[in-house]
A and B are shown apart, each in its own frame.
Chain A
Amino acid sequence: MTEFEPKIIGFLCNFCSYAAADGAGSQRLHLPEGFRVVRVMCSGRVEPAWVLQALREGADGVVILGCHPGDCHYREGNFQARKRFQILSRLLSDLGVEKERVRLVWVSATEAARLEKVLQEVRADLKLLGPFTRKGLKAGQRKEAEHGGKTTGCPRD
């Protein structure tokens, strides 16, 4: 393996974005080879800690994909996802994680082509940034652990 191929972990909601990713397959679109999906029922289920863990485990970027505002199968889970993402973004910025590495994007079930475009953009950005080195994140992990909260990099057992 010579050239750097970014690893992108995606948290995809079952009803919109996961369906779009399936649609990308059905239409034989090309999604980045480094794109790997964790399926959740709703983007509102995604814990900020998972994003941190994904980066720590070796991801170069993370995308949280949910239904467009107003289309959430569970009414408003995507709004909760957005609120959490806003807080997470501040934390990531404090930790020195470039904002291009973690994104929240709305993708409906029919937007397979858009999904492809979004992911290719993410991939291109990550290729420019290079591999994620995790230094900042480990410092952040210690800092957060002192608070004992769940929104740390530590998955609970």
Chain B
Amino acid sequence: MRIGIFLCECGPNISEVIDLNSLQSFAAALPGVVMVEKYPLYCSPDGQEKVVQGIRDNRLERVVFAGCSPREHEETFRRVLTRAGLNPYLLQIVNLREQCAWVASDPARTGVKARALLRAAVRRVEFHLPLEQKEIPAVPDVLVLGAGVAGLQTARLLAAKGRKVTLVEKQPSIGGKVVLFEEVFPGLECASCLLEPWMDEVLHRENLEVMTLSTLEEVKGSLGNFIVKIKKQPRFIDETKCLGCAACYDPCTVEVPNEYEGGKSRRKAVFVPYVGSLPNIPSIDRKNCLHFRGQECNLCREVCPFGAIDFSQKEEIVERRVGAIVLATGYSLWDCRKMPELGYGREDILTGFDLERLNSATGPTGGQIRCADGRAPGSVVFILCVGSRDPEHRSYCSKVCCLYSLKQIHSLLKKLPEATIHVVFRDWCLPGKSGQELRDGFNNEKRVVWHRLEGMKGIRVEGGNRQIKVAWPGPDRTGSVVPADLVILAPALEPPAGLPELARMLNLKLKPDGYMQEESEKLAPGATTLKGVYLAGCVQGPKDMQESAQQGAAAAGLIFSGLIPGERLRLEPASALVAEERCGGCRLCISLCPYRALSFSPEKGVTVVDEALCQGCGVCAATCPSGAAEARQFTSRQIAAELEELAGD
């Protein structure tokens, strides 16, 4: 074995603390060492050239570089080895600067330490193995889950640049929750007007496939090579034939409360969720449709001029190959029934979301704000922070409730010229450049009465039948009571239903608050710990429309930079390997692998490694009871060799 050592002075950084001349003569006598050189700055272009020459002139088989931390220049010197014709992994770095010279306090002992570190590296490098940089082909196509603001944004941006996108939405229509809102803060724009161009765009692109009534069923593979199975519920309407003419609604004799309007309006068994929902194709609700309840009803089918009604449609499993997956599954609203004292579920006690539908020109009341019995309310009470910032429920601030409640108050003042509006709140959360304006707009408004409480505990909504009262205890135990014709609760946003199952499917983790864990909350909020899986919108935490649009665009950007058509993916060379002849097939390692990179091969009776998934952590190697699993570049033999010398004098 021909080992060469390069001692870097790093200017004065190392040479002034450690006697490199004596280290050089010590190193020259180590077994296998055929060359020891020192130089003022090996990372400089001249220095790198010296290393290339040294390797070539001395026909080196292994290289030890002693200088700065491997975190600083390991990659640099690996490239230098490659340039000299040597496998880049036949290098070991001695951290002589950060972890020796720079932390030194006693020159005599520092010299001893430097010798031990060098000896250990020389011993270790002998056992280094040449590793191969493997590459695999990658699919540039993308699966986007969820067609709200974030998902629409990601999908349209990717598709605009020619990526093939599959946009999967669980609901019969796209646009998410926000498309149902009449106005959005802070500018009070109409949400559906904002979103409609985007929705049209995604529905009319050839390279963008929209799958409604669909959910993710199974995921296999890794970045660049996922195989996903999507479960598509039958619509019982042939999407290729239906023009959305609405001829089928009238003949249908079934009428049920419309769950998409919070039950405030009624719909048929063949229906669209709300006026203007897209795609403009109805679906048939199997639970209520008479045809599916064993009756001889074919009224909608008889009337359809295009023969689009198809009762024979079945649930389908569709398979797609994609390179990346974007999770944009949105949020759910916290169930206000968990605080029975607030009376949600009784008449005239609504959530902010219910109010959005009342307020919508296309909603059940045509945009009029009315009590259940048709009266115009004279007193409306808003209660904020319902379930939010409450350790017993959702401990975080839901971020959007203050803003949307203020927006709704603006709207109600306009629509109800006689009404008084009471606002029961704790603090204002109005960050950003336009949030405060919404609040300041009420500064001279006599019809809004603010009730600022110390906390939101003890609020009660009592009575009913035109006699609702909202009461809360005061700091002096007196408390207050206000009459209400309409009560509007601002519930917390919470993680979307089904997120734990989705996380399990993808082998991802949820944070304690229940939202998806990002790779880094600050620096990589749109990435997950699984390469190729990205987050956009409220699946990562409460967000407003603007932030969701931004994160949707960010996810598209991450995919544009990380998954380039025609570019092959470089795999981690220092991945794990399992020696088949030593593997007993106990599968301990499989259960511990955080990346599902290991699987059991029944034919061979041993564990096999998927190098596309392995990230090289080495947990399997440390776990293997028979020594079959190994971490390349951190093998047991290499570490043992290092330890043989490291503790010596």
What is the interface of chain A, defined by CB distance below 8 A to chain B? 1, 5, 7, 9, 14, 18-19, 21-22, 24-26, 28-31, 33-42, 44-47, 49-50, 53-54, 57-59, 73-77, 80, 84, 149-151, 155-157
Contacts and interface: CB of A to CB of B under 8 A. Distances in A.
A156 B582 CA distance: 12
A49 B636 CA distance: 9
Which 4 interchain pairs have the tightest Cβ spacing? A25-B98, A155-B640, A45-B618, A25-B102
23 contacts: A1-B649, A14-B71, A22-B69, A25-B98, A26-B98, A33-B109, A36-B646, A36-B647, A37-B95, A40-B634, A47-B622, A50-B640, A50-B643, A54-B647, A57-B644, A58-B647, A58-B648, A74-B594, A74-B615, A75-B529, A77-B618, A149-B625, A155-B636
Contacts of B72: 22
Contact of A59 (B99, B108, B618, B647): B647
Interface of B: 69-72, 95, 97-99, 101-106, 108-110, 112-113, 116-117, 120, 509, 529, 574, 592, 594, 615-619, 621-627, 631, 634, 636-637, 639-640, 642-644, 646-649
Contacts of A77: 594, 617-619
A30 B624 CA distance: 37
A41 B99 contact: no
B99 A25 contact: yes
A84 B643 contact: no
Nearest to B97: A25
Nearest to A22: B98
Given A45-B618, A80-B619, 17 more contacts: A1-B108, A14-B71, A22-B72, A22-B98, A25-B98, A25-B101, A26-B102, A30-B104, A38-B643, A38-B646, A44-B617, A45-B634, A49-B636, A58-B649, A75-B509, A84-B622, A156-B640
A156 B627 contact: yes
A41 B624 contact: no
Contact of A40 (B618, B624, B637): B618
Given A30-B103, A54-B643, A155-B640, A74 B627 contact: no
A54 B617 contact: no
A1 B649 CA distance: 10
Contacts of A21: 98-99, 103
Contacts of A53: 640, 643
A94 B565 CA distance: 58
Contacts of B109: 1, 5, 33-34
Contact of B617 (A19, A42, A151): A42
Nearest to A27: B102
Contacts of A37: 95, 99
A1 B640 CA distance: 27
A47 B625 CA distance: 11
A39 B113 contact: no
B508 to A, nearest CB: 9
A24 B99 CA distance: 8
A124 B582 CA distance: 43
A36 B117 contact: yes
Contact of A156 (B103, B592, B636): B636
Contacts of A46: 622
Contact of A45 (B102, B108, B120, B631): B631
Nearest to A11: B639
Contacts of B649: 1, 58
A104 to B, nearest CB: 14
A60 to B, nearest CB: 9
A36 B627 contact: no
B646 A54 contact: yes
Contacts of B104: 30, 33
Contacts of A59: 646-647
Contacts of A49: 636
B618 A28 contact: no
A45 B631 CA distance: 8
Given A31-B103, A36-B117, A50 B639 contact: yes
A124 to B, nearest CB: 15
A18 B636 contact: no
Contact of A22 (B71, B116, B621, B644): B71
Contacts of B634: 40-41, 45
Contacts of A40: 618, 634, 639
A19 B103 contact: no
B110 to A, nearest CB: 6
Given A50-B639, A53-B640, A34 B646 contact: no
B637 A157 contact: yes
A44 B619 CA distance: 5
A42 B72 CA distance: 18
B618 A44 contact: yes
B619 A74 contact: yes
Contacts of B108: 1
A29 B99 CA distance: 10
B617 A36 contact: no
B115 to A, nearest CB: 11
B594 A76 contact: yes
B71 to A, nearest CB: 6
A114 to B, nearest CB: 14
A45 B621 contact: yes
A33 B649 CA distance: 12
Most chain B CB neighbours (cut-off 10 Å) among A31, A39, A45, A57: A45
Nearest to A42: B617
Most chain B CB neighbours (cut-off 10 Å) among A5, A33, A84: A33
Nearest to B124: A38
Most chain A CB neighbours (cut-off 10 Å) among B117, B592, B594: B594
A33 B619 contact: no
A130 to B, nearest CB: 16
A5 B111 CA distance: 14
B618 A31 contact: no
Contacts of B102: 24-26, 28
A138 B627 CA distance: 22
A54 to B, nearest CB: 5
B103 A57 contact: no
A100 B85 CA distance: 47
Contacts of B98: 21-22, 24-26
